Amino acid sequence: MTTQRQAIGAYGERQAARYLEERGLVVLARNWRCADGEIDLILRDGDTVVFCEVKTRRTAAFGPPSAAVHRRKVHKLRQLALRWLAESGTSSPQIRFDVVEVLPQPRGAARVAHIPAAF
């Protein structure tokens, strides 16, 4: 991945975390990694553990950022969530998978859209 793409992704993840924290969610982990992959954000929303995929695009020319969360990615995120739950020792009766879209704007704040229970 190029340095510019990494920077845009990191920017989007910071914006998403801030947006969700402002709405009362608590960040448990950022960029959690294991040999099988990475989860962008892991949060707590009340009694629910939220696994969040952040998608950032510079333009909407190719559709909304969430369109990049395809079937393979959903499957991978579910596997990673199970692994995180097992490794962290966190027991939560409820889990949820969210997507946050971030579209940086030429002027002003980025446009952020939160899609709770996206899959």
The whole domain housing 33 covers 3-115
CATH of the domain at 51: 3.40.1350.10
Residue 1 has what pLDDT?
A: 62
Helix ranges restricted to H, 1-119: 3-22, 71-88
**How far from 97 is each of 4, 35, 70, 111, CA to CA, in Å?**
27, 21, 13, 20
Q: pTM (2 decimals)?
A: 0.91
CA–CA distance, 63 with 46 (Å, rounded to integer): 32
pLDDT at 104 over 80: yes
Domain count of the chain?
1
Phi, psi of 70, rounded to the nearest 5 degrees: -95, 180
pLDDT tens-digit series, residues 14-42? 999 999 999 999 999 999 999 999 999 99
User: What single letter denotes the amino acid at residue 47?
Assistant: D
CA–CA distance, 73 with 96 (Å, rounded to integer): 15
- Going by C-alpha positions, the residue among 70, 95, 73 that lies closest to residue 82 is 95
Instruction: Name residue 42's beta-bridge partners.
Output: 29, 51
Do 56 and 12 contact (CB within 8 A), yes or no? yes
pLDDT tens-digit series, residues 56-89? 988 777 888 898 899 999 999 999 999 999 999 8
